[in-house]
Amino acid sequence: MEPFKVMTGVVAPLDLPNVDTDQIIPKQFLKRIERTGFGEFLFYDWRFTKDGQLNSDFEMNAVSYRGASILVARDNFGCGSSREHAPWALLDYGFKCIIAPSFADIFYNNCFKNGILPVRLTESEVESLFKAVQKNPGYMLTVDLEQEKIFSDDGLSFKIDISPFRRTSLLNGLDDIALTLAQEDAIQQYELKRLKIPPPLH
């Protein structure tokens, strides 16, 4: 997992509440065994028409949002089934930070496990971001996890509320496997001790 420290990127708006994981990555695309390759299917039913062409009515398809790495959304983002493919698709598409008033709990936790920073802001703060993005397509934010803040060149500034454990894990690029391997010496010592213990008599 890549460390997340400081990034500056274009913000893409998704002005919809209750975006569930089947909308993020529809079930028919869950056949891959790798974590990569899901980005092209992100928001598939919204991004594409029935004949497979880009949907010009879907705001995120606008040229000004291409290459966006920050997504701003509404309440309850990531609800629905617990599929980990949802953060995989978002990350593979290029999103590294998602900002919303609230997230579904399982999706929120899965983001941290895959190197995405989900940021909860108040509804009024999120609304100010939507207004800035809609007024200035191609709007950019800097997300500074080291300083725990988000800010823009035009003066917007927000505090990132994150637990110390999650912050440290993201800053150092540590997923669950890496956190376990960090205790490899202690695990080996424990296993060696177990080998010296005779099996119980029956």
Give residue-wise pLDDT tens across range 79-94.
Answer: 998 889 999 999 999 9
CA dihedral 104, 108, 113, 117 (to 10 degrees): 150
Domains of the chain: 6-195 (3.20.19.10)
User: What's the pTM value of the predicted model, to 2 decimals?
Assistant: 0.88
- Characterize the bridge pairing of strands 70-73 and 149-151: unpaired
Give the containing element (helix H, strand E) for 17.
Answer: none
Sign of torsion, CA 16 18 21 27? Answer: negative
CA distance 115 to 3: 7
Q: What is the pLDDT of residue 180?
A: 64
Give residue-wise pLDDT tens across range 95-115.
Answer: 999 999 999 999 999 999 999
Tokens 């997504």 correspond to 71
